[in-house]
Amino acid sequence: DGGITQSPKYLFRKEGQNVTLSCEQNLNHDAMYWYRQDPGQGLRLIYYSQIVNDFQKGDIAEGYSVSREKKESFPLTVTSAQKNPTAFYLCASSMGRVNQPQHFGDGTRLSIL
């Protein structure tokens, strides 16, 4: 089945620790996205990548980093610089052409220990 796989489903971070969230897609999509979801605030864009080896900051990139070394993978690192990391993180992908539907994974819930 084609889709987007996010792992782990739940993740706990200690103070001062970096953690990496995995996102893999087998839809052969060019574009991939990371969103943060907080209650009552909708989805906010962290980073996006429209092609391998290239990515751009979204609206709330501070304290996060990404890489796009392979078309199917777009990992997100939540660094210790992100002071309020507790949230539901969603990865999405699309064909990359203008205004194509985005397909979402089932998210990773990150909490602070």
Partner 1 sequence: QQQVKQSPQSLIVQKGGISIINCAYENTAFDYFPWYQQFPGKGPALLIAIRPDVSEKKEGRFTISFNKSAKQFSLHIMDSQPGDSATYFCAASSRRGNKLVFGAGTILRVKS
Instruction: Verify binding: residue 101, partner 1, rule CB under 8 A.
Output: yes
How many residues touch partner 1 under the rule CB under 8 A: the total is 23
**Contact range with partner 1 by CB under 8 A, out of 14-22, 65-73, 74-82, 98-106:** 98-106
The only residue of 17, 51, 106, 111 in contact with partner 1, by rule CB under 8 A:
106
Report, in Å, the least distance between residue 11 CB and partner 1: 14
Three-state SS for the chain is CCCEEEECCEEEECCCCCEEEEEEECCCCCEEEEEEECCCCCEEEEEEEEECCEEEECCCCCCEEECCCECCECCEEECCCCCCCCEEEEEEEECCCCCCCCEECCCEEEEEC
Among 11, 13, 27, 44, binds partner 1 (CB under 8 A): 44
Site residues for partner 1 per CB under 8 A: 4, 6, 31, 40-45, 48, 50, 58, 90, 92, 98-99, 101-107
